[in-house]
Amino acid sequence: MVNRRQLYNECVGILKKYANPDAEFDTLCIFQDIFNEKNPLFKPMEAVTEKDEKIIREYIRKRSEGYPLQYILGKWEFYGYDFRISPDVLIPRPDTEVLIENVLSICRREGMTSPVIYDLCSGSGCIAVTLKKEIPSADVYAVEISKKAVGIIKENASLNNADITIINSDVRNPELIKNLENIDIIVCNPPYLTQEDMDTLQKEVTFEPELALFGGADGLDFYREITEKWKKCLRNGGYLCYEFGYDQHEDVKDILVKNKFDNISLSRDLAGIVRTVTAQKI
């Protein structure tokens, strides 16, 4: 029977052979999951059961084929909260935590203790659920077109005990928008990849749903449509907050300016890339 240390070394070796730069981290995450321990290598000599070894080897095989670790584990952490993740939803990215910080800072600055917040294109619900946890008196709505993703948002709301309203709809549906008004904050991380991006996707990203990625030929379809259609739903003084892709900030800013938004402010992610914008309806 193999012990934990032996199996760990072997797994790291396999992932390194496939040029995985995070071989140690990925193997550790898999071990933590299987043994349900934070530090599984504190017991290096512990024998691994045949059943656990078989699962670990299967996970490592999938990982060596480029299948994302988050889908293998079926869960991931975002802003310190646990989320269930499946291939039906985009994997929550640390970049998106900047968007959370933007919304929290607006609420602090403007003294909004119980804002009405709409999270458009909600995916796993990571934004909506996190905002509800961080601002418990907020009235938070999550809008998502994919039925399967809506199932995941429900699971994540319940997992985190977050009382949010989930709407299964196209954000471009005029019926949805017709009677909406006085929203304090609209937050959105829409699909923003261009056709060229889609044609040259990194292997790992090819496992994520196309519906979550493709934003039209120039990647800006959702910014144009949402800004135009949802502007009337914001109260005067309300905010529209977007995440966008690399080098899209000037284009998204132009769309906001054309739609007469004011106090436009850009933020960078941890890698120094301009990643989000907040803009006020005046």
Residues within window 3-62 making contact with ligand SAM, judged by CB under 6 A: none
Structure tokens at 118: 């709409």
Q: Does 266 interact with ligand SAM (rule: CB under 6 A)?
A: no
- Give the interface segment with ligand SAM, choosing from 2-10, 46-54, 186-194, 199-207 (CB under 6 A): 186-194
Q: Considering only residues 115, 191, 238, 245, which one is a binding residue for ligand SAM as defined by CB under 6 A?
A: 191
Candidate ranges 14-22, 120-128, 154-162, 265-273; the one touching ligand SAM (CB under 6 A): 120-128
For ligand SAM, the closer CB: 189 or 248 = 189
The stretch among 14-22, 101-109, 167-175, 197-205 that binds ligand SAM (CB under 6 A) is 167-175
Interaction mask 74-93, ligand SAM, x per CB under 6 A: ---------------xx-x-
- Provide the minimum distance between the beta carbon of 206 and ligand SAM in the complex, in angstroms, as a whole number: 15
Could you tell me how many residues make up the chain? 282
Contacts of 1 (CB under 8 A, 6+ apart): 47, 48, 49, 50
End-to-end CA distance of the chain: 68
Q: Is the dihedral of CA 260, 179, 176, 168 positive or negative?
A: positive
Q: Does residue 278 interact with ligand SAM by CB under 6 A?
A: no
Name which of 190 and 219 has its Cβ closer to ligand SAM.
190
Name which of 258, 249, 248, 262 is nearest 227 in CA terms.
258
Residue closest to ligand SAM (Cβ): 123
Distance of CA 199 to the CA centre of its chain: 22
233 and 249 in contact (C-beta within 8 Å)?
no
**Residue 102 within binding range of ligand SAM, rule CB under 6 A:** no
Helix (H) and strand (E) counts in the chain: 11, 9
Residue 277, SS3 per DSSP: strand
Distance CA 203, CA 214 (A): 16
DSSP H/E element including 198: helix 195-199
| By the rule CB under 6 A, 190 interacts with ligand SAM | yes
* Minimal distance, residue 262 CB to ligand SAM, in Å: 25
> What does the binding site for ligand SAM look like in residue numbers (CB under 6 A)?
89-90, 92, 96, 121-124, 126-127, 143-146, 149, 170-172, 189-191, 211-212
